[in-house]
């Protein structure tokens, strides 16, 4: 007996004339109900990193294929795409974490403030390009000591607790956490809520005074309220550091990103402003992905 193939799901990809909101996203796409966060911006962006013709392979498997894009302070750059498209590999290459995998090979160029990152000492690079991971990973010590640990590592002489108190509070305030923890900075970090732990990890990353902050799915394990707090924080932080975030959540990318890079099978399919990529994508694969046809 001949089998009938299953029906193909088809989604409308092109907006009707005259429709769409002020931000340009199309009705019927997964972004319905999403609103961009309108934090004040200086309007100026400063080049921090430049990715030029970068390819990364694990053994014979090509994970990133000739990707080029800028990373600027004053902007949030979101890397989007389906699982396995290379976005996390690209993110980890920005502070040379990919080279910790023995089978990884790298071609191309990544510069930080004009300097080739392969010529920088890895630990020094990772102080300037810090990373926050998907699962909150605070150290098993107090809130205070999570931040103080980084400050002590950077100091020429080991400062005492009293000398660090002001700076620890500044960093916690910068990460939007001080008001919630200042009553007891000796509180064990592992007893904080998930959202508080993730903000503590962001604070710990900021304690190194980085130029670039890398975020790998920082809200995937959090509840909606904690996600909103961290999204607001990310948008505010872009004035002090260049922010690059990997996210599977298209609504999140639309809410917080200034620029978006859509990757598919290791290739950079499209790069542009968030309103352009989500509202008027140039490439067919981008239109299909942001409309929910695959992913």
- Residue 66 is part of a domain; what is its CATH number? 3.40.50.300
Question: What per-residue confidence (pLDDT) applies to 202?
Answer: 96
Residue 200: name the closest of 212, 214, 210, 190 by CA: 190
Q: Sign of dihedral through CA atoms 106, 111, 112, 118?
A: positive
pTM of the shown model: 0.86
Structure tokens at 278: 């989500």
Question: What per-residue confidence (pLDDT) applies to 34?
Answer: 67
Does 228 map to a domain? no
Domain containing 171 equals 140-215
Q: Is residue 105 helix, strand or coil?
A: strand
Q: Which residue, of 200, 215, 230, is where some domain finishes?
A: 215
- Structural domain tally of the chain? 2
Does 114 map to a domain? yes
Helix axes 161-174, 194-206, angle to 10 degrees: 110
The CA distances from residue 256 to 83, 101, 245, 267, 283, in Å, are: 21, 31, 10, 23, 22
Question: What per-residue confidence (pLDDT) applies to 233?
Answer: 94
Does 104 map to a domain? yes
Same domain, 107 and 251: yes
Same domain, 257 and 130: yes
| Full strand arrangement of the beta sheet holding 46-58 | 61-73, 46-58, 104-112, 115-116
Separation between Cα atoms, residue 204 and residue 126, nearest integer Å: 13
Strands 129-132 and 46-58, sheet pairing? unpaired
Same domain, 123 and 149: no
Separation between Cα atoms, residue 79 and residue 88, nearest integer Å: 8
Question: What per-residue confidence (pLDDT) applies to 33?
Answer: 57
The list of the chain residues with pLDDT below 70 reads: 1-34, 36-43, 155-157, 295
Q: Which residue, of 199, 215, 231, is where some domain finishes?
A: 215
Residue 233: name the closest of 279, 156, 295, 180 by CA: 180
Does 47 map to a domain? yes
Same domain, 49 and 125: yes
Same domain, 52 and 193: no
Same domain, 130 and 145: no
Residue 245: name the closest of 223, 217, 271, 264 by CA: 217
The CA distances from residue 277 to 7, 12, 91, 284, in Å, are: 28, 16, 20, 11
Same domain, 147 and 289: no
Question: What per-residue confidence (pLDDT) applies to 29?
Answer: 55
């Amino acid at each position: 007996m001949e089998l009938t193939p299953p029906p193909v799901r088809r989604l409308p990809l092109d907006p009707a004339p005259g429709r769409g909101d002020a931000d340009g996203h199309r009705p019927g796409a997964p972004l319905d109900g999403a609103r961009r966060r309108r934090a004040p911006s200086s309007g100026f962006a400063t080049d921090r990193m430049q990715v030029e013709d970068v390819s990364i392979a694990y053994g014979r498997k090509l994970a990133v294929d000739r990707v080029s894009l800028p990373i600027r302070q004053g902007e949030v750059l979101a890397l989007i795409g389906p699982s396995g498209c290379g976005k996390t590999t690209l993110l980890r290459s920005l502070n040379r974490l990919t080279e910790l995998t023995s089978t990884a090979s790298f071609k191309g160029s990544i510069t930080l403030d004009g300097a080739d990152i392969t010529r920088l000492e890895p630990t020094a690079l990772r102080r300037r390009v810090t990373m926050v991971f998907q699962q909150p990973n605070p150290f098993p010590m107090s809130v205070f000591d999570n931040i103080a640990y980084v400050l002590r590592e950077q100091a020429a002489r080991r400062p005492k607790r009293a000398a660090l108190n002001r700076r620890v509070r500044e960093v916690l305030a910068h990460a939007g956490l001080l008001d919630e923890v200042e009553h007891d900075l000796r509180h064990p970090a592992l007893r904080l809520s998930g959202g508080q732990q993730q903000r503590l990890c962001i604070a710990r990353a900021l304690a190194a005074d980085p130029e670039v902050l890398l975020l790998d799915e920082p809200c995937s394990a959090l509840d909606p309220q904690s996600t909103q707090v961290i999204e607001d924080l990310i948008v505010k932080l872009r004035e002090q550091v260049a922010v690059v975030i990997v996210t599977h959540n298209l609504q999140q990318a639309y809410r917080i990103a200034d620029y978006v890079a859509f990757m598919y099978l290791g290739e950079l399919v499209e790069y542009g402003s968030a309103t352009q990529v989500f509202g008027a994508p140039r490439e067919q694969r981008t239109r299909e992905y942001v409309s929910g046809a695959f992913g």
